[in-house]
Amino acid sequence: MVALEDVISSNERIAETFPNGLVAVFVGGTSGVGEYTVKAFASYVRNPRVYIIGRSQEAADRIIAKCLRFSPSGSFTFIKADISLLKQVDDVCRQIKSKEKSINVLFMSQGSMAFSKTTSEGLPLTAALAIHSRTRFILNLLPLIRASTSLRRVVSVLAASLEGPIDLDNIPALGFDLRKQRDQMASIQTLLLEEAGRRAPDVSFVHDVPGVVKGGIMREMEPNFRLRIIVAVAGLLGRWIETSSEECGERHVFFATSARYAPPQVDEMVKGVPIKAEVEMARGSDGTLGGGVYTVDQKGESSGPKVESLLDQFRKDGTKEKVWKYVVGDFTKITGAEIAE
C-alpha cells in the first residue's frame, strides 16, 4: 500500500516538478471520482488548463467555481457531451485539438449502471462507456499527449486488480451478473491500455479501481433487487469501507502525476514527480518494474501474480488481439474510421 501521507507528499511537489499550465482532460468529471480529482488537481497545479467533459452544466459550474478558488489564474472549460456516443467523443476531441497543441493528462472515469440500455449508435451503454469511449478518447488525443514536453499520462478508473475471464462470444458482457461483468470489463480495459502503450511507449497508462466512493454512477441504476441490496449494505457500512472524497482525489492525482507510474521510454521530466526512497516503482501489467501500463488497486499497489498470469495468457492465446479488433471494428462501423479525422 502507498501510504496516504506519501501520496500527499508527492502531490505537494507537483508545482516544483512541472512547469505552469499543465493541460488535463477529465472525462466524466462532473461527479464522483472525476469531480474529486479535478478539485485536487486544481489545488496542486500552477495555472492549469483543464477541460471537464460531462452532461451537467449545473454540476460543472459548481465544480469550476470551486476550482477557481484553488487556482484563480487557472483555465477551466466545460464541454457538454454525451460521451457514450462515439461521434460526440470525436466532436469533443476536435474542440480540444482546436485549442491545444499538447495534453499532459487524460483522466477518464465515465460509467453507468444502466445495464439494459443501448446507445443510439447501437452499443450497450455500459460497454460504450467502459470500453469504446475510453479507447476512442485515447486514440484521438494520443498525438497531443505524446507532444507534451513534460508529463504524459492516461488514467482510466474502472476495476483494476479484479481482472477475470473474457467471453469472446460476448465481449460487451450482456446478461452477465455484476461481478462477472466487472471482471471481464477490467481485463478488457487493461488489454486495451496495453495496446495503446505498445503504440506509445513514451506515455504511461494507469488502470485503477477507486473502491467504495460516493458518486453519480448510481443515478441510472436499474431496479435490480440483488444490486440494490449490495448498495444498501455498502451504505450501512460506509464509514468503515468507504474512501473519502478527499482521499480519492489525492490518490488519483498521485496516479496521474507520480513517477511511480512512469512510461518506460522517457527522460526525467516526463516521468512525473520523483519518488522517494520509501516508495517503490510500480510493476507494470506485464510484471516488469516501470512497465508503462499499470493495473493497480485502490491503494496504488500493482495487481499480483494471479492477474499478471491471466493477462499473459490473454496475450499468448490471441484474446488481446481479438478484443482490440472487436473495439476498432465498432469504431469503423459507427464513425467510418479508427480515429477521428
CA distance 272 to 96: 23
pLDDT of residue 234: 46
**Under DSSP, is residue 70 helix (H, G, I), strand (E, B) or coil?**
helix
Cell numbers linked to 107 = 483522466
Residue 275: beta bridge partners?
none
Report if residue 306 sits inside a domain. Answer: yes
Report if residue 293 sits inside a domain. Answer: yes
Element (H, E) at 305: helix 305-316
How is the beta sheet containing 75-80 ordered, strand by strand?
A: 75-80, 49-54, 23-27, 105-108, 153-157, 204-208, 293-296
Cβ(261)–Cβ(270) below 8 Å: no
If you average pLDDT over residues 184-209, what whole number do you get? 97
Report if residue 341 sits inside a domain. Answer: no
Q: What is the CATH number of the domain that holds 29?
A: 3.40.50.720
pLDDT of residue 274: 94
pLDDT of residue 99: 98
Report if residue 45 sits inside a domain. Answer: yes
Report if residue 207 sits inside a domain. Answer: yes
pLDDT of residue 212: 80
More confident residue, 164 or 223: 164
The tally of domains found in the chain comes to 1
Show the beta-strand stretches assigned E in the chain.
Answer: 23-27, 49-54, 75-80, 105-108, 153-157, 204-208, 293-296
Residue 25: beta bridge partners?
51, 106
Q: Which amino acid is at 223?
A: P
Asked whether the predicted pLDDT for residue 225 surpasses 60, the reply is: no
If you average pLDDT over residues 270-296, what whole number do you get? 93
Asked whether the predicted pLDDT for residue 215 surpasses 90, the reply is: no
Report if residue 339 sits inside a domain. Answer: no
pLDDT by residue (tens digit) across 254-281?
999 999 999 998 887 799 999 988 788 9
| DSSP notation for 255-290 | HHHBGGG--SS--HHHH-BPPPTTSPPPBPTTS-BT
Cell numbers linked to 167 = 467471453
Q: Give me the domain span that covers residue 87.
A: 4-334
287 dihedral zone (left: phi>0; alpha: psi -120 to 50; beta): left
Find the distance separating the first CA and the last CA of the chain, reported in whole Å.
42
Q: Which amino acid is at 240?
A: W
Element (H, E) at 92: helix 86-99
Report if residue 89 sits inside a domain. Answer: yes
Whole-number average pLDDT of the chain: 92
pLDDT of residue 266: 84
Report if residue 340 sits inside a domain. Answer: no
pLDDT by residue (tens digit) across 10-42?
999 999 999 999 999 999 999 999 999 999 999
- Count the Cβ atoms, other than its own, within 10 Å of residue 13: 15
CA distance 193 to 142: 12
pLDDT of residue 228: 53
pLDDT by residue (tens digit) across 125-170?
999 999 999 999 999 999 999 999 999 999 999 999 999 999 999 9
pLDDT by residue (tens digit) across 226-252?
555 444 444 544 454 578 999 999 999
